[in-house]
Amino acid sequence: MKLLKSLTILSTSALIISSFVLPMSFGINSLGKGYNSPSAVPNDEIQEFVTAITAIKHYYISDTKDKTLFNNAISGMLTHLDPHSSYLDKEALKQMTSTVSGEFVGIGIELTVDKGALKVISPLDGTPADKAGLKTNDLIIKVDNTLVENMSLSEAISKIKGKKGTLVTLTILRPHVAKPIIVSIKRDTIKVVTVKTKLLDDHYGYARLSFFQGKADQELKAAIAQLKKATNNQLNGLVLDLRNNPGGLLNLSGEITDLFLDKNTTQRYKNLIVYTKGRIPGSDITIKAKPHDIIPNVPLVVLINSGSASASEIVAGALQDYHRAVIMGTKSFGKGSVQTVIPISKDTAIKLTTALYYTPSGRAIQAKGIQPNVIIPSLEIQKKDNGITLTEADFNRHLKNGSHKTDVQKSVTNKKSTDFELAQEDYQLFSALMMLKGLHSIQ
């Protein structure tokens, strides 16, 4: 079968949002020559497969459809490779390749599959899932009255999605919580606010980036300009908050990193921001900086946690390699792989892991994540849940490390918290502010 084109994905799951799919995680990419020259077909194994299909059709207690058997077989092959490879049936492929404007009906959550359950990477800020209290590392074991054990991600997502205003009931297992948690969530139109800003103190700014989509780079640049204006161009430090940011467009990770790099900084690694390496021609991608630091000489702290994945890890890793920012918080998720969607018929495809990506210094993120320069636990979260943290490395069949329209806040929030209030509300952010003040004092 001739491969005409494929889609390259940078995200933590096959379908980014459980009730909707954002167009931020894929772009056209050719696999190149060599696809039509596969290795020899294993005839003995193919014969075993045909024998199994024949036996099922002949002996199974009820009639089976050929299409269902073959779909399940393909799905089984892919789901046992790694947590991010999967089979996309007609409906799943339609959702993935559809172009949308920035508003979606759903519950607003990032998912993947692990150990037969749906694992929450992170709920998106302000969405029904976020308001319902879903957390990073929650395991969804039942959707309404249906167990999701060994269900494909696309099938599970189809059960979670629905019409605006209707309810979906999720049964959740949470680490170190004895009993399952049952929560009903009303599906709604999702409007992802990509960038939020505020002043932490008279001359210290805060920028929250929740998703890498749309024009996030331009929105972040405009938001930081507002912070500079609010401080009469005397911004003494900036916190870039990437906590629970599940990723998004690969190119945006480069554009956003660019905002904080200058020519002198990037010479160390020849302007590299990120590069990918894979087996097939066309899977090697290099993104280089076009340096234009919008806050030169201003101290920068980047906050990350176990919900920071993919594009978030690229930004944090590059800024760390170039010593442009101090990375604080807890270790990131460790999703350092790229998936490619390969059509296998006119309306179905397979999503296959085809490459790993690396920071400018050559660090592979896969299953290792980004280790902060300064580890700051989230004390509020630990107190409430006393839970454990799951990352990419905890997944069954995780890939080994290969080492070698979105609304933007129109104006800056001028309400500033006292240091004590900030420490009570968000200890990690308080610690970041203290770091910025220390860095500014020694400049």
Q: Which of 321, 332, 337, 368 is catalytic?
A: 321
- Give 353-412 pLDDT, tens digit per residue: 999 999 999 999 999 999 999 999 987 544 344 444 556 666 666 777 766 544 444 445
Report all structural domains of the chain as residue ranges with CATH numbers, in order of start. 6-96 (no CATH), 102-190 (2.30.42.10), 192-336+355-441 (3.90.226.10)
410 given a catalytic annotation = no
- Give 35-78 pLDDT, tens digit per residue: 554 567 789 999 999 999 999 999 999 999 999 999 999 999 99
Q: Can you give the three-state secondary structure of the chain, one letter per residue?
A: CCCCCEEEECCCCCCCECCCCCCCCEEEECCCCCCCCCCCCCHHHHHHHHHHHHHHHHHCCCCCCHHHHHHHHHHHHHHCCCCCCEEECHHHHHHHHCCCCCEEEECCEEEEEECCEEEEEEECCCCHHHHCCCCCCCEEEEECCEECCCCCHHHHHHHHCCCCCCEEEEEEECCCCCCCEEEEEECEEEECEEEEEEEEECCEEEEEECCECCCHHHHHHHHHHHHHHHCCCCCCEEEEECCCCCCECHHHHHHHHHCCCCHHHHHHHCCEEEEEEECCCCCCCEEECCCCCCCCCCCEEEEECCCCCCHHHHHHHHHHHCCCCEEEECCCCCCCEEEEEEECCCCCEEEEEEEEEECCCCCECCCCCCCCCEECCCHHHHHHHCCCCCCHHHCCCCCCCCCCCCEECCCCECCCCCHHHHHHHCHHHHHHHHHHHHHHHCC
Confidence of residue 155 (pLDDT cuts 50, 70, 90): confident
What is residue 386's predicted lDDT score, i.e. its pLDDT?
45
The pTM of the whole model exceeds 0.85 = no
310 given a catalytic annotation = yes
The mean pLDDT of the chain is 84
Whether residue 15 has pLDDT greater than 70: no
What is residue 408's predicted lDDT score, i.e. its pLDDT?
42
Q: Which of 310, 312, 378, 431 is catalytic?
A: 310
Q: Which of 161, 196, 335, 351 is catalytic?
A: 335
Rank 85-99, 268-282, 375-389 by mean pLDDT and report only the highest: 268-282
44 given a catalytic annotation = no
